[in-house]
A and B are shown apart, each in its own frame.
Chain A
Amino acid sequence: MSTERGHRRPLSSFVLRGAALGAGLAAVAFARRWLDVVEVQGGSMAPTLLAGEWLIVESRTYTRRQPRVGEIVLAADPREPERELIKRVASLDPFARTLELRGDTPEASTDSRAFGSIPMQDVRWRVVGRYWPARRIGPIEALPG
């Protein structure tokens, strides 16, 4: 007796599914070049971002335009380049092509007040959203500059 579950699907169905899966994996692999996930360490971006939270970052926007004041970005720590910082853009100098970074908790943040402004070209990644913890899932909006 034939049931729905036991019904044999045509070969083309498997081919289509396989192709879709392959395309999906290829898309993810491709997207990884400009889309990535990061974990926050430290508390200088509280209350916006807390230590241990997982974020989605992207690197396409800044190939098309400059960073804007109020956006949360990643940048190498000028004092320890292998360490990547996450801070908010506090101000821009469009002529010098530099920007200043600040933590959202200025009294517990080491930022441009300590290491000065940084070249705009060193800022490539922008924070777009949070996917963990579940109760704080959502987009991360830039503050109006």
Chain B
Amino acid sequence: MLRDLLRPKRRVHAHCDIPCGIYDPQQARIEAESCYKIIEKYNGSDDELLRARCIDIKEQRAELTKHHIDVLWHDYFKPEHLEKFPNLHEVCWKASKAASKVKQTSDIAAAQELLSLIDQIDGMWKATGGPEKTRLQAVAA
């Protein structure tokens, strides 16, 4: 009774976007592979309708790639990882930019460059214990 009387009606939020702590560069890699394949299809086709769809889908996938790269960069990597890999910021920055480039062009070399940068991020993720720390090792069915 007294408790109800004293209970505040105003709620304030010590807010957190609930970081689930699950990270894997493969998420970015799969979207980037999609871009790569779509660019191949685009360049190998005369079908205007297919080519228009390719551009549309490629833009979506490139945006997703960029999002996944940014999440790794902003949320997964920590200052101690930067000490271990002083080029971490540069690689993530370049990868993010490469994703933008893939969004803009139909140049297969751009998609290749994006994949290679994601693989560099993957290397840093693995070397900092990412697979053990940020993926579930086993989930009971």
Binding site for B on A (CB under 8 A): 36-46, 49, 51, 54-55, 74, 77, 83-87, 103, 105, 107-110, 114, 131-132
- Inter-chain contact A108/B12, CB cutoff 8 Å: no
Chain B interface main SS type: loop
- Inter-chain contact B8/A42, CB cutoff 8 Å: no
On chain B, the residues within 8 Å of A40 by CB distance are: 12, 14
The CA-CA distance from A134 to B62 in the complex, in Å, is 54
- Inter-chain contact B12/A86, CB cutoff 8 Å: yes
Task: Give the bracket for the number of chain B residues in contact with chain A.
Answer: 10 to 19
- Inter-chain contact B12/A74, CB cutoff 8 Å: yes
- Inter-chain contact B17/A114, CB cutoff 8 Å: yes
User: What total of A-B pairs shows CB separation below 8 Å?
Assistant: 72
Question: Which 4 pairs between the two chains have the least Cβ-Cβ distance?
Answer: A45-B14, A37-B8, A42-B14, A86-B12
Q: Which of B7, B10, B11, B19 contacts A108 (CB 8 A)?
A: B19
The CA-CA distance from A79 to B22 in the complex, in Å, is 24
Taking the closest CB of chain B, its distance from the CB of A78, in whole angstroms, is: 12
Decide yes or no: A54 and B6 within 8 Å by CB, A110-B17, A114-B17 being known contacts. Answer: yes
- Inter-chain contact A103/B10, CB cutoff 8 Å: no
- Inter-chain contact B14/A51, CB cutoff 8 Å: yes
On chain B, the residues within 8 Å of A38 by CB distance are: 8, 10-12
The CA-CA distance from A39 to B17 in the complex, in Å, is 19
On chain A, the residues within 8 Å of B7 by CB distance are: 39, 54
- Inter-chain contact B11/A84, CB cutoff 8 Å: yes
- Inter-chain contact A44/B15, CB cutoff 8 Å: yes
On chain B, the residues within 8 Å of A54 by CB distance are: 6-8
- Inter-chain contact B14/A109, CB cutoff 8 Å: yes
